[in-house]
Structure 1
């Protein structure tokens, strides 16, 4: 329902300031006209006010227009009407003929011509001068009351504002939100609590998710962080960066609503020092390029980053070929604001293997100081044939070498290391010469114990057979060494299960004299030569070569002959 109140002066025709009705006063009679329609059941209250302030009469009607008479009394003079209207809708009628009016702004009825706004001069009544009433003292009192009420309202509103502001900005709220986000593993909620310490650092939902994952994987860290945050929330003191967990601090932020301090989790920045061994290596971290190295053993600084794991990509394109490597770096593992990470590029390297894994790798005749087993892959290496690789192994009896290999397009190089032929031959030669002298002594004394360079039971058995035959015939033998001729072309070296074997062909020339055991009668003198293939092995424990087999042959076939006399 709509409520409207208008006070109308009865001294002359008057209109409502709000246009909700008009009143024509005719000396003692008045007519109230309403250009607004009121639905059936609406109520119109009219009160006539007099000088005495009394209510002379009150007229209630359920009609849309009406005419009423005011009693004429000399002692009382009506000067105003208080008109209260309840109702809704729009409908107007001419009070003369009842014609329905659609336009409430008309001055004349289109049906009967009645004027809706009579000119005061056309009436038979003199205008009644308006009555001026002094303001009642009660109005001042009412103003004071309103002022008091306003003050009270402001005090109450201010108190509520302070209470609400403190509640909303209580730092303990942040701590509880931090715990809740971690417990629910809600990375997005956690990210909303974080603010970067430097504007260049990005805080994303992934940052928040990595934090909650880290806290749940390290519950002791979460417990210590929450404990520290609660202490800071109680003291409301901006924290220094803690040494144990420097990733976050609860810090006072900007004012809210001009009066209240806010608190936020400030994420501390991390910087990466990336050490790269090759120049011309492009570094990308977290999808952002940080440039290309201009020299070997360079350092590229990247950041700032929020705590978390990031993908580091190193892309090399240089004289050693092309190489790309990726790795994940994690700042949560570092307690320092600057963390160092090392990128070892191998370039276009080549894998190396050998039958002697302990052999030392040589590059262009220079030792690398590392074994084949340690190296496994050599690089970077140029592929234009300017680099030659080889392997050297130190045997107990001498050195061993592999054939040098030029590096071109190989992915793998195998080095067959063999003992140096000269070193092996010298060892074999000494053993065979010593053995020949021992053989003469053993035959003269018919005693195999003279043999110190033989590890062959069959050989010993054969020699004892010779001795027994000579003894049964009553014969003795004596002899002298003439020479040994070695066929160096026949030298063969092999390795099996870590044991080195070698063989060589040789001619043995000894002058021997067979005589009767009872008298030296010079029955038989022999100075012919015998040809043998001597098989030997190297005993690393004894550090010596031993004859393990002998095979009689027809002669020497090589052209590289050495004679020992």
Structure 2
């Protein structure tokens, strides 16, 4: 399409002149062609050097732009928060250590020191979200407050929370970018312990040593997290240890940790010892080189029963080592009786004495007694004289003795060594009078024996033998006779009685038990068949039963021994017995007492027996 050069009017194809202004079109066309030719004339070739410069500039622009974008990516604060979140979720201590910073030069951040931090968030995964959300809120806050030169004062404001880890703006990096760090807050701990020289450690690293009793010291800084705290004290007796897992997550505050060791000073009670005796103390089988007779207090040790002690002492009868005793309190009493060798010696001596005593009572002589003191021999002779005076005879067998092991106690009384033990002794025996036939019955007797050590004879001797109420322990030892010997009084003229006397003796025993049953059941009819309704005994028995019932007193017949059945006439017999009762009162108390009872028994017209009269009853 052509236009007039002069007036700009459109020209038709092939026109020689402009229809508007008359300008010669040929001249115009020639000029246009020349201009076109000038425009499309070939350009001059660019030099190789110029091309290289242009290409270098272009590449540099591209590289710089790319580098800027890469730097922008790697320094982006939100990306740093995302990487931190991922490292926490994965438990990657290496990455967490790389991402965390601190402004405290004493707080060292490494893969090792961040372990407790990572462990805490593993154990509390819900708190990871809380931590990350807070960092994201801080990031948003920073974006909305770009006019502020520093973020150091951001987190004191009411609308933004200061957390365990905080996002901080820290100058420029690589000249162009804002630098952001994840700054962790430090924590401190105060540790207290009770013994000097106790070693303290956190996360397996020793941090201090107590330089006095009741020690307390503040340690830190530490990263927030979960830590194992340990206190350890090595003594001559035991290594005391205490371990605790503690959580240090409350930044800005000091955590108090009690690492008191559970050990105590313990005193060995040696009051029962001769103070001149040399002794050695053993803890868990180890000789700790302490003479408890001179230095009875030692420690610290555990008093929870896990540790045991025993004492070895050189005594007049030889070296004695006690059984091990659990340390369960701050005072441990030593009982030399808890030595197996000594137990065997004492027990065998009691067995020997028990047989020698029967030999003396039945022979009328204490000459063969080798296991008793002179005092005890005198007691035996007095008993023999009493039996001879009463014309009481004995026939029986010693069957054995059950020893209460825990009751065996040995101590020094200031002049000599004494031992005491409770026993249950068993016999087949009978006591009888002139003209009676002894009927052996099994009899068990609770006794307590006292022995003294005779240094001249180098042996333990029986000093006393008394009755006891028995022992309450299952820790016993039985020593029984395999072939019991029979002992019978040889100094009297014992005669065999008739069958009638034996029948009457058995009847009286039955009556005595029926009497107790009637009292305890508050039912007189139980004993009524045994009574002569025309005799004095009938009303006396009825009144006595009613009296005890009114008072709330019950009875237990512990033992009855028929001592004599004496014929008075063809229908009347006099029966003497020794009776032992236990009386139980309504207030819960009880009393054991013995009586010598003399009663009359009548033979009824049908040949049966009946209690007729109580002649006498004397408390023994």
Tell me which interval the TM-score lies in, with the shorter structure as reference length: 0.3 to 0.5
Q: What TM-score does the superposition give when structure 2 sets the normalisation length?
A: 0.37
Q: TM-score, normalised by structure 1?
A: 0.40
User: Which structure dedicates a bigger proportion of its chain to strand?
Assistant: 1
Higher helix share: 2
Bigger Cα Rg: 1
